């Protein structure tokens, strides 16, 4: 056994090594800290873990397992900045519920990771701490907004990391970086302590190396929270591999929304890789059935209206008085204006202005209420679709990671979210699985989606797809 192997270990492999005495938690944490130093040029962290690891729990399902946390999730032992000058010195007095549950399970909170400011972006370039770089090619973006967390797992720094997903912010960077990215059903995992962007869409998700590791975190993090009214009180399914093994191919019906897929312009290698993935499903005996989703083309526009409206409302609290950056001003209006001008980055300001516009008098019904009606229609269409199939599959992203600094413009950046946004709008559980690489060796993923609160079915299907696609590459 060499220390280089440790960077690829799963949570299960790591805990087995702890149990039989091959490795101590302190040795592994010291290794992870060395990996932080070796990968410092990737800028994955806003707050790095301390050089000297603290005491490690010896009990719990995640005992001694380091888990990085996106820096818009509150932690008492690290500042929580949301990658914004507005919150550069904010020190929470309580852990987010998901962080508290990680600690109760014995996990080590392994630093706070970089993101697009307030989760608003798809590249992790919109951060007061600077951009996070792709671990395979530093000239490319890592994806976003949870790019720092994705890089932590992809670069072998730690085996798991928390992110947040509003419109694809876990699944998209997972696809770009070649790791597993999971988003539960909206309401399945507590949002208490997650700094708000768009409250009806925001949720905590996570990155791991395997589907089984994602299941371990699900067992720890899912469940009701009496301090979060949006977190549902319903039984949490057991998704452990012993309880939910990989589906038998002949027993799985996979939906292929071909109309949706064909409408999106894709990189040739990603398109070929996805087609090859579908062929593998069919050759294995999986039933692949076409699903019609007629209103899906309206999802992106509806999402932009709803997300910016909610962002404008949520970020109104940052006025330079109660908390956050405070600039000098002769009166309240000037203080507030200067604080917001200096504290927010350009992308956040743009979304606040768009949201304020769609919520303004005379436009609420024309834009926001209409978007909500579209959202309801899409939710119903997905519900009907899942009466015919067990899960649906699409590419996660239409391209692999693109060049840093590439000026795509808002519409160009939004085009990369075409497969992830509708799923967020409908509040469905979804997972991005590594599916292959393009001609430059850059990863891409497939997205597997289940019906609302259908995580048990999702994990069974994902385990099979992971097995079928193990080592899969395109013909390109």
Q: Specify whether 169 is catalytic.
A: yes
How far is Cα 133 from Cα 405, in angstroms, rounded to an integer?
A: 11
How far is Cα 130 from Cα 457, in angstroms, rounded to an integer?
A: 39
To the nearest 10°, report the CA torsion of 384, 387, 390, 391.
0
| Residue 398 near residue 267 (C-beta atoms within 8 A) | yes
Q: Which of 70, 112, 271, 325 is flagged as catalytic?
A: 70
Q: Which of 169, 175, 339, 424 is flagged as catalytic?
A: 169
The phi and psi torsions of 85 (rounded to 5 degrees) equal -60, -25
| Residue 303 near residue 167 (C-beta atoms within 8 A) | yes
Q: Which of 145, 312, 339, 424 is flagged as catalytic?
A: 145
To the nearest 10°, report the CA torsion of 335, 311, 359, 187.
-140
Dihedral sign of CA atoms 68, 69, 74, 79 in order: positive
Q: In what order do the strands lie in the sheet with 391-395?
A: 45-47, 108-113, 66-70, 160-164, 204-208, 180-183, 430-437, 443-449, 391-395, 253-256, 287-290
Q: Specify whether 70 is catalytic.
A: yes
Nearest one of 73, 75, 22 to 50, comparing CA atoms? 75
> Radius of gyration of the chain from Cα atoms?
21
Nearest one of 70, 24, 29, 52 to 157, comparing CA atoms? 29
Residues with a known catalytic role: 70, 145, 169
């Amino acid at each position: 056994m060499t220390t280089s192997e440790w960077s690829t270990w799963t949570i299960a492999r790591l805990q087995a090594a702890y149990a039989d005495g091959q490795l101590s938690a302190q040795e592994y944490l010291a290794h992870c800290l060395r990996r932080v130093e070796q990968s410092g040029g990737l800028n994955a962290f806003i707050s790095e873990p301390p050089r000297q690891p603290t005491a490690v729990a010896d009990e719990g399902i995640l005992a001694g397992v380091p888990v990085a946390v996106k820096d818009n999730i509150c932690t008492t032992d690290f500042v929580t900045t949301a990658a914004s000058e507005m919150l550069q010195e904010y020190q929470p007095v309580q852990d987010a519920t998901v962080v508290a549950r990680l600690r109760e399970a014995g996990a080590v909170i392994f630093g706070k990771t970089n993101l697009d400011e307030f989760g608003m972006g798809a590249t992790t370039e919109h951060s007061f701490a600077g951009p996070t770089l792709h671990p395979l090619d530093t000239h490319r973006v890592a994806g976003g907004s949870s790019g720092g967390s994705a890089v932590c797992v992809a670069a072998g720094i730690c085996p798991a990391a928390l992110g947040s997903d509003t419109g694809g912010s876990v699944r998209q960077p997972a696809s770009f970086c070649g790791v597993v990215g999971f988003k539960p059903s909206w309401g399945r995992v507590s949002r208490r302590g997650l700094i708000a962007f768009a409250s009806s869409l925001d949720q905590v998700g996570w990155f791991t190396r395997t589907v089984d590791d994602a299941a371990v975190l699900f067992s720890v993090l899912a469940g009701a929270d009496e301090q979060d009214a949006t977190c549902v009180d319903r039984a949490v399914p057991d998704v452990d591999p012993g309880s939910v093994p990989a589906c038998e191919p002949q027993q799985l019906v996979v939906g292929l929304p071909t109309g949706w897929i064909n409408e999106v312009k894709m990189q040739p290698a990603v398109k070929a890789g996805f087609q090859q993935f579908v062929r593998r499903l069919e050759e294995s005996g999986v039933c692949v059935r076409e699903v019609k989703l007629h209103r899906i083309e309206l999802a992106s526009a509806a999402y932009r209206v709803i997300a910016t409206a909610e962002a404008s409302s949520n970020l109104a609290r940052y006025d330079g008085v109660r908390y956050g950056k405070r600039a000098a001003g002769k009166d309240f209006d000037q203080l507030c204006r200067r604080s917001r001008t200096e504290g927010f980055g350009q992308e956040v300001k743009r979304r606040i202005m768009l949201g304020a516009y769609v919520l303004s008098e005379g436009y609420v019904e024309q834009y926001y209420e209409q978007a909500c009606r579209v959202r309801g229609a899409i939710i119903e269409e997905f519900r009907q679709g899942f009466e015919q199939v067990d899960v649906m599959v699409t590419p996660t992203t239409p391209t692999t990671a693109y060049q840093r600094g590439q000026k795509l413009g808002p519409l160009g950046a939004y085009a990369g979210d075409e497969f992830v946004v509708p799923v967020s709008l409908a509040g469905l559980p979804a997972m991005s699985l590594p599916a292959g690489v393009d001609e430059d060796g850059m990863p891409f993923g497939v997205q597997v989606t289940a019906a609302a609160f259908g995580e048990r079915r999702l994990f069974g299907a994902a385990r099979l797809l992971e097995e079928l696609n193990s080592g899969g590459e395109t013909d390109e």
